[in-house]
Each structure stands twice: as C-alpha cells, then as structure tokens.
C-alpha cells in the first residue's frame, strides 16, 4: 500500500502541469481522481452546443461570460486535480491575470457535454460532478447527449464531494438554472445535436 503525503501529491500535480503545458495543441490533458486523462477533441455538434449555450448566457446574463474549453481549474479537494471543463461561467474578465490553472473561487457554473467515447460515463457523470462539488462550484450543468437530457446539479456539499440536488430535463423542455446563474433555457434545439 502506498501512502501519499501532501508533498508527494504536490509533486505529481507539478509533473502533470509540466506535461500538460508541453502537450501539442491537438491534445488536452486533465488530472482527475489521481489519473492523467486525455480529453477528446470535440465534434461539431459538441461545439454547436457550447456556442448555443454561450449565446443563451449572453442574452440572459450579459454581466457573465461562458468560457469554452480554455480555462483550467484547480479542483484541489479532489485529489489535487486539474480539470478543463467544456464551459466555465464567471463574471466577465474573471480569468485576467491568472495562470493556466485557476482557483475555482468565483466560478458560478461548469459545463460538460458528453462525448461519444469509452469513458464519458465515468468522467462526466461520476468524477467531474464530484470534483466540481468538492471545489464548491454552485452549479454543474451536464448536457448528456446519450440520454438526450440536461442534468442540473446544484447545492454542492464540498465535504462529501457531491451535489445534493440534481434535476433532469429532457431535450425539448424548459430548464431553469437557479441562482447564482439565474437563467431559463429552451432546450428544443439540442435535439438536432445528437446522433
């Protein structure tokens, strides 16, 4: 049995950050649940979903911006992890002057859109919600293309690493994303972005 000290964990994170910073542009790496994982390049429908969500956020909350894919978050409580969500909703300018991996304080919502790969279930439905809840991010929105549904995770319990409330809405329904986001989405268009 290996016992990891805080220094050992920090060294692993440092090694990951160095590796991630030298990865080619076509590869995105994350450090989740103690493992280095490759995040697949999104397909066109995945990109359209993020574009659609950016526009809806701008319409309802022009004081906020949904950053797409380029923002790395330190999800420290979850095994000193590093995640690069498909979307990160914050006040505009929130990431100015920050490094590649930012503290999640001030992040209002993270967004993941499921991919058609072998580990999307574990990554997007299990590990990411646990990491984001442990980081105390108020809302986690999962656009689940397999289930044709949005999963709105709210009320994070940072100690337990889980969201206390999860609301599922099928594509085509109106979805309320509660405060601090405070927007309503008409999801009918999402039916066009699934296989």
**CATH number for the domain including 59?**
3.90.1570.10
pLDDT at residue 78 tops 80: no
Of residues 47, 44, 50, 12, the one with CA closest to residue 31: 12
Beta strands in the chain (DSSP E): 28-32, 35-39, 64-67, 72-75, 81-83, 87-91, 101-102, 109-113, 139-144, 149-157, 162-170, 174-177, 183-186
Is 62 a member of any domain?
Answer: yes
Q: What pLDDT, on a 0 to 100 scale, did the predictor assign at position 76? A: 76
Number of domains in the chain: 1
pLDDT at residue 43 tops 90: no
Is 101 a member of any domain?
Answer: yes
Is 63 a member of any domain?
Answer: yes
pLDDT at residue 193 tops 80: yes
Is 17 a member of any domain?
Answer: no
Pick 120 or 84 by higher pLDDT. 84
Q: Percent of the chain, pLDDT > 70?
A: 76
The two tokens of residue 47 are 């990109």
Beta strands in 34-161 (DSSP E): 35-39, 64-67, 72-75, 81-83, 87-91, 101-102, 109-113, 139-144, 149-157
Q: Model confidence at 116, in pLDDT bands (50, 70, 90)?
A: confident
Is 20 a member of any domain?
Answer: no
Is 22 a member of any domain?
Answer: no
- State pTM to two decimals: 0.79
Q: What pLDDT, on a 0 to 100 scale, did the predictor assign at position 3? A: 41
Find residue 113's DSSP bridge partners: 143
Instruction: Give the structural domain span for 169.
Output: 42-193
Q: What pLDDT, on a 0 to 100 scale, did the predictor assign at position 180? A: 97
Cis-peptide into 108, omega within 30 deg: no
Is 26 a member of any domain?
Answer: no
Is 150 a member of any domain?
Answer: yes
């Amino acid at each position: 049995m290996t016992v990891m000290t805080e220094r050992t964990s920090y060294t692993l994170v440092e090694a990951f950050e160095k590796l991630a910073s030298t990865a080619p542009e076509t590869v995105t790496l994350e450090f989740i649940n103690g493992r280095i994982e490759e995040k697949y390049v999104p397909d066109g429908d995945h990109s359209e979903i993020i574009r659609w969500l950016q526009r809806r956020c701008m319409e309802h909350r022009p004081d906020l911006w949904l950053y797409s894919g380029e923002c790395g978050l330190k999800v420290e409580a979850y095994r000193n992890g590093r995640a690069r969500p498909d979307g990160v909703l914050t006040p505009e300018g929130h990431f100015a002057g920050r490094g590649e991996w930012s503290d999640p304080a001030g992040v209002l919502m993270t967004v993941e859109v499921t991919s058609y790969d072998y580990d999307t279930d574990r990554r997007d439905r299990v590990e990411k919600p646990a990491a984001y809840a442990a980081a105390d991010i108020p809302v986690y929105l999962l656009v689940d293309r397999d289930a044709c549904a949005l999963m709105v995770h709210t009320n994070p319990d940072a100690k337990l690493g889980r969201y206390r409330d999860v609301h599922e809405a099928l594509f085509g329904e109106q979805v309320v994303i509660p405060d601090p986001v405070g927007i309503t989405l008409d999801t009918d268009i999402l039916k066009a972005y699934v296989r």
